Each structure stands twice: as C-alpha cells, then as structure tokens.
Chain A
Amino acid sequence: MENIIEVKDVKKKFKTYESGSGTFEFFHRKTFWKNALNGVSFEVKKGEIVALLGRNGSGKSTIIKLLSGILHPDSGSVRIFGLDPWEERINVVKDIGVVFGSTHPQLFWNLPPIDTFKYIKELYEINDKNYNKRLKELIKMLNLEEVYKRQTRQLSLGERMKCEIVAAILHMPKLVIMDEPTVGVDLPSRISITKAILNLRNKLGMTFVMTTHVVDDITKADRIIILDHGIKLFDGTQEQLKDKYEKIAILDLYFTKNFNVLKKKYSKLGKVIESKNEHIKIEVKPDTIKSSAFMEIFNDKFVEDYRLSEPRLSSILEMAYKEIDKNSKKNKQ
C-alpha cells in the first residue's frame, strides 16, 4: 500500500528563553536551544489510523506542524503524498485536514459553525451537491443537528470539537492530522468522534494521524508511535506494545473475612496495587503463576470471588513511561 507520509531522520530545534522569577530578572533572560525532535523516522500508509503518544514536550505537536507544512525540519525530510509540505505548502494542504484541538480553533468565534463550513466550501471549491451531501452526513454522524447553526462561542467544548472535525474533513482530504482532538470532550462526544473516524477510514480510505493523551482514542488506532524528548521509542501495534512491556494481568480477589491474613498470603503472587474493603488488586504475571496457586484460590473458603483480567492500555502506557524514565536516569548516570 502506498505511503502517505514519509518522515526520515527529522531533527528540529527551537530557540527559547528562560528567566528567573525575580521582579527584574527579565533583564537577564537566558537564551538556549531546545531539541524538539532528535532524528525521528516513520511512515504512514494510506488508510492507517496512527496515534502519536508521548508526554507534554515530547515533540508530538512539532511533528503535527511539520506534517502540515507550518514548520520545516532542520535536517532530515518530510514528505506528504511525495511532496515537501514546507516547499509546496499550498498544494499539500489542499489534500489535508487539520484539527488543532481546542488551542487553535478554526471556527469563527462570533459566527455559527455553518458559516465556517460555507467558508471551507468556497475555499476548497466544493460544489453545491457534494457540500450538501457531505455536510448532511457529517452532521448526522456527529449528532450536530441542534448545534451547527448556533453561534460558536455559545457551544460547549465537545460541540465545538465535533464542529472542528467537520471543518477539517468537509473537503474530504486524503490525510487528517489531529492534535489532541478529544481534550475536554465528554464520553458520548468522544464515542461519536471515534465512530466517525473509523467510518471515514473504512468507507473512504482516509488516513488519520492524531496525538492524544486519552487512552480510549488509542484503542482504535492501527499503530501507536511513542515519542519522548524528541526520540521515537516505540512504533507498532497495540499487541506489540503489550508484548514489549511484559504480559501482566490484574488479579482481583474478594474475601469474606481474615482480610489482613489473606492479603499477606496472596500478595506473594505479585504486586498489590490496591487493597480496601475486603478486596485486593494484584499485578501478576500469568505465565509464571503455577496452576496450584489458582487451585488454592478456588478452594479457599474465605475467597468469595476472583477475577483475572488483561491490563488496560493505560497501565501498559504507565509501564512504558516508567521504563523511559528509568532508561533516561541510567543514561544520565
């Protein structure tokens, strides 16, 4: 399948300032260079949904700006549809849609979203028939029937974000880049955004690249890329991520009595991560637990109930970030 995005050994640094907290210390501000990206490479194929993860300042937003042609790399190369997005910005942006989260809205604040949609229609020269059809479908898909004719400033954050997404995809771009599209968005809105993304990918083969901190957004991604301090630390599927950070499961035990004695007894199975109200939660490695241990739980008359479950993606990410910290400490030493 063809590559929509090709990022090769991209480095990018910014000039920034730091000053003390004293009243007159702004006279002595210190200039320094911050490495935002330090040799990042990856490719994205047509129709993929890729989630860019990483903590604040890891370089995610810089990648979004490089992909949208707003910035260009200090070294390395970025190609979108085989073109340099900085050199051929106008040609490239015709076929991409960008959502900058709530930080840089594209909706006109004083006007209803319908006016921004009409503006997009004229800007991208969408004919009346296609515009009406697409708008109707997207409005229905994202439950915006009651919303899109009201003044933008009167809409909730979730409603605005859904309208931002409509504005980004109304011209049916080949690639949609989203920087934290679900920040501050309520659960029903998040679900409808995720459904819309999957629908557009499955029906039209649109490619999505999004940065996010919301774990639910990641579960629908085909690939996950984790960045930290401008370096790519992981690039693969959710399964590969789980494999990389050990097969850990969560064992929930519910006792009828003798809580402290039983807690001590079963804590040998792994690491107790929660214990309250006759219930303990233990992180265990299922491969290393002997079957006799499970039999013991099953036969224990004081164990009212038990449940063994796969860890959630959030726990895996937590582990990944802990490992990143451990490695960076090691490197510093």
Chain B
Amino acid sequence: MSNPYLAVLKIYIKDVFAYKVDLTLSTLFNILKPLLLIFVFYAVYQFSNVSTLKGITLSSIVVYFFVVGNLDFIVAPTNIVKHMQNDIKEGSIATELIRPINYIFMPFLSVIPADIILFAFTTIPLLILLYLITGIHLNIFIIIAFAIGVLIAYLISNLLSFIIGSFSIYLVDVSGIGEGILWINEILGGGIIPIIFYPKIISNLLMLTPFPFMIFVPAGIFIGIINTNIVNILITGIVWVIILALISKIVWKRVSKDMNVVGV
C-alpha cells in the first residue's frame, strides 16, 4: 500500500479507535432523537384520531424516524466544519500543508473513518433489524437505490460542510453557522417532519434544493414513501453533488489565496 491518501485514511481510522468507550456510547446515543420524534408523532396521530396522515400510517412514521435516526450522522457532519475551523484557528493547517497531498481532501479523509465505522456497526445492523421486525417491502432495486441515496446524502452534506468550513479563514469560528445549517438540514430535509407533510407547492420546491437529498430521499426510498421516479430523483441528487463539488473547489481556490493575506 503506497497511496498517500490511503495512508491518511488509515491513520485516521486508528485515531477513531483510540477511545473505544466514547465511540460505542456516542453510537448508542444516536438512537435517542428518533425515539423522541416517534413519541411526538404518536401523540399527533392519537389526538387527530386518524389512521393515516397524507397517506402515511403511524407505523410508517415510526420506521421513518428510525431510519432517519440511523442516518443522522450523515446529516450532522459538523466534524468537517470543526476540522477546518481548528486547522485555521490553531494554525494546524500548516502541518497538513507540509505533506505531499492536496489539502482539499484532508477534511473528508479525517471524517470518513468514523462515519464508515458508524455505518457498518450501527446503521446496517439496525436497518436489518428494522426490516426483520417491521417486514418492510425491500427488493434489490430498493436496496441499490437506497445505497446510492445514502452516498448522495453523505456527499451533499459533507460538501456543504466543506464550503462552510472554508469560511473559517475569514470568520475563524464558524461552528455557529455549522449548527444553523444543521437545523436547516433537519427542517428542510425531513429530519423533523417528512417533507411530504408540507404544502405540496413547498415540498415540490424543496425537492429542487439539495436539502431533501440529505434525509428525506434515502429514508423515503427505504420505507417506500418514495416509490416512483426514483431514478430521476437520484439523478437530480447526483447533479447536486457535482454542483456542490464545483462550488467547493472554486470556494477553496479563492479562500486559499486569501489565507495568504490573513496568514496562518
């Protein structure tokens, strides 16, 4: 193995496993938020005295939030923002710029190991358990579409974080903006309310933005809320990935020039 980028990935995997108890506990606490939302929707269905809302049953909502909770680490990628902010704030970007690698990949490589571990050890087992308990209808097409949807969600979310993190060169501390974007992701992306509960015009407009691709699309495909036009929806997501990747590259090029002015 001699690829420098693989070397970076390997050292960050080791770093993630340095504190195993913390890693295990933070993984387990990921399921607390969906539990809370399930109780809220349980109350809504009970007091409305209806069996379906917008064609969705309470059991579907329960499954939806379990899936959302499982994918939460994808839409909460504040680690990239933190990594870039610390690099600028503490000047540690200098130690990364002296390596024969392109810095643009470093924030991504630093978060991928922890996310892969979360995905492999919590998301996949819990989704299998969910499938076995609830008997959701799954076939190979849905599984592949869901996998692509998760990848798109991960890329969109991290690219947005990279763009926010880049601005730490001017603002130094961008954690507040990162948190703000996280809440926007949750509200507009379907993390708190599935976006089909919004008025049709708003949900249609939202589907033109990158936000639903981070939560609603992968979760919707998995539980069957999204069952038509899946290929078109995924292509739109891929277009957003390309657009955000280009924006990230342009922003970083501009920011790295200004880094020279501000100094590190």
> A residues engaging B (CB < 8 A)?
14-16, 36, 62, 65, 68-72, 89-91, 93-94, 96, 98, 100, 103-106, 108, 110-111, 115-116, 118-119, 122-125
The answer to whether A123 touches B98 (Cβ under 8 A) is no
Given contacts A14-B262, A15-B263, A72-B260, 12 further A-B contacts (CB under 8 A): A15-B262, A70-B93, A71-B260, A71-B264, A108-B15, A111-B11, A115-B14, A122-B1, A122-B7, A123-B100, A125-B2, A125-B4
| A39 CB, nearest partner CB in chain B, Å | 18
Of the candidates B4, B10, B264, which one forms a contact with A65 in the assembled complex, judged by CB atoms under 8 Å apart? B264
| A37 CB, nearest partner CB in chain B, Å | 12
User: Which of chain B's residues have a CB closer than 8 A to the CB of A110?
Assistant: 15, 18-19
| B112 CB, nearest partner CB in chain A, Å | 16
The answer to whether A122 touches B6 (Cβ under 8 A) is yes
- Please name 24 pairs of A and B residues whose Cβ atoms are closer than 8 Å in the assembled complex, sorted by A: A15-B262, A15-B263, A16-B263, A36-B263, A62-B263, A68-B97, A70-B98, A70-B264, A71-B259, A103-B91, A104-B90, A104-B91, A104-B94, A105-B95, A108-B14, A108-B15, A111-B11, A111-B14, A115-B14, A119-B11, A122-B4, A122-B7, A123-B99, A124-B100
Closest B residue to A64 using CB positions: B94
User: Which of chain B's residues have a CB closer than 8 A to the CB of A65?
Assistant: 94, 264
Closest A residue to B5 using CB positions: A123
The answer to whether B11 touches A104 (Cβ under 8 A) is no
User: Which of chain A's residues have a CB closer than 8 A to the CB of B91?
Assistant: 103-104
User: Which of chain B's residues have a CB closer than 8 A to the CB of A125?
Assistant: 2, 4
CB of B228 within 8 A of chain A? no
| A172 CB, nearest partner CB in chain B, Å | 14
The answer to whether B101 touches A96 (Cβ under 8 A) is no
The answer to whether A14 touches B261 (Cβ under 8 A) is yes
User: Which of chain A's residues have a CB closer than 8 A to the CB of B262?
Assistant: 14-15
User: Which of chain B's residues have a CB closer than 8 A to the CB of A68?
Assistant: 94, 97-98
Chain B interface residue bracket vs A: 20 to 34
Instruction: Give the CA-CA distance A307 to B264 in the complex, in Å.
Output: 49
Closest A residue to B90 using CB positions: A104
Instruction: Give the CA-CA distance A106 to B14 in the complex, in Å.
Output: 15
User: Which of chain B's residues have a CB closer than 8 A to the CB of A72?
Assistant: 260
| B190 CB, nearest partner CB in chain A, Å | 35
User: Which of chain A's residues have a CB closer than 8 A to the CB of B99?
Assistant: 93, 123
Instruction: Give the CA-CA distance A105 to B92 in the complex, in Å.
Output: 8
Instruction: Give the CA-CA distance A115 to B7 in the complex, in Å.
Output: 11
The answer to whether A93 touches B263 (Cβ under 8 A) is no
Q: How does the 8 Å CB contact mask read for B249-264 relative to A, with 1 for contact and 0 for none?
A: 0000000000111111
Instruction: Give the CA-CA distance A104 to B95 in the complex, in Å.
Output: 7
The answer to whether B10 touches A119 (Cβ under 8 A) is yes
User: Which of chain B's residues have a CB closer than 8 A to the CB of A15?
Assistant: 261-263
| B145 CB, nearest partner CB in chain A, Å | 36
CB of B102 within 8 A of chain A? yes
User: Which of chain B's residues have a CB closer than 8 A to the CB of A106?
Assistant: 95, 98
> B residues engaging A (CB < 8 A)?
1-4, 6-8, 10-11, 14-15, 18-19, 90-95, 97-102, 259-264
User: Which of chain B's residues have a CB closer than 8 A to the CB of A94?
Assistant: 100
The 10 closest A-B pairs by CB, nearest first: A122-B7, A110-B18, A14-B263, A119-B11, A98-B98, A125-B2, A106-B95, A94-B100, A123-B7, A70-B97
| B181 CB, nearest partner CB in chain A, Å | 25
The answer to whether A93 touches B7 (Cβ under 8 A) is no
| B256 CB, nearest partner CB in chain A, Å | 10
User: Which of chain A's residues have a CB closer than 8 A to the CB of B263?
Assistant: 14-16, 36, 62, 71
User: Which of chain A's residues have a CB closer than 8 A to the CB of B98?
Assistant: 68-70, 93, 96, 98, 106
Instruction: Give the CA-CA distance A90 to B4 in the complex, in Å.
Output: 12
| A166 CB, nearest partner CB in chain B, Å | 15
The answer to whether A90 touches B15 (Cβ under 8 A) is no
| B139 CB, nearest partner CB in chain A, Å | 41
| A255 CB, nearest partner CB in chain B, Å | 54
Of the candidates A62, A100, A115, A124, which one forms a contact with B95 in the assembled complex, judged by CB atoms under 8 Å apart? A100
User: Which of chain A's residues have a CB closer than 8 A to the CB of B261?
Assistant: 14-15
Given A15-B262, A65-B264, A100-B94: A90 in contact with B11 (beta carbons within 8 A): no
| A40 CB, nearest partner CB in chain B, Å | 16
Instruction: Give the CA-CA distance A98 to B91 in the complex, in Å.
Output: 14
User: Which of chain A's residues have a CB closer than 8 A to the CB of B264?
Assistant: 65, 70-71
Of A70, A71, A94, A124, chain B has the most CB atoms within 10 Å of the CB of: A70
User: Which of chain A's residues have a CB closer than 8 A to the CB of B8?
Assistant: 119, 123
Instruction: Give the CA-CA distance A72 to B4 in the complex, in Å.
Output: 25
Closest B residue to A126 using CB positions: B2
| A132 CB, nearest partner CB in chain B, Å | 16
Instruction: Give the CA-CA distance A49 to B168 in the complex, in Å.
Output: 37
The answer to whether A69 touches B97 (Cβ under 8 A) is yes
Instruction: Give the CA-CA distance A230 to B90 in the complex, in Å.
Output: 23
Of A16, A115, A116, A123, chain B has the most CB atoms within 10 Å of the CB of: A123
User: Which of chain B's residues have a CB closer than 8 A to the CB of A70?
Assistant: 93-94, 97-98, 264
User: Which of chain A's residues have a CB closer than 8 A to the CB of B19?
Assistant: 110
Instruction: Give the CA-CA distance A94 to B100 in the complex, in Å.
Output: 6
Closest A residue to B263 using CB positions: A14
Instruction: Give the CA-CA distance A96 to B100 in the complex, in Å.
Output: 10
Instruction: Give the CA-CA distance A104 to B212 in the complex, in Å.
Output: 39
Instruction: Give the CA-CA distance A327 to B102 in the complex, in Å.
Output: 45
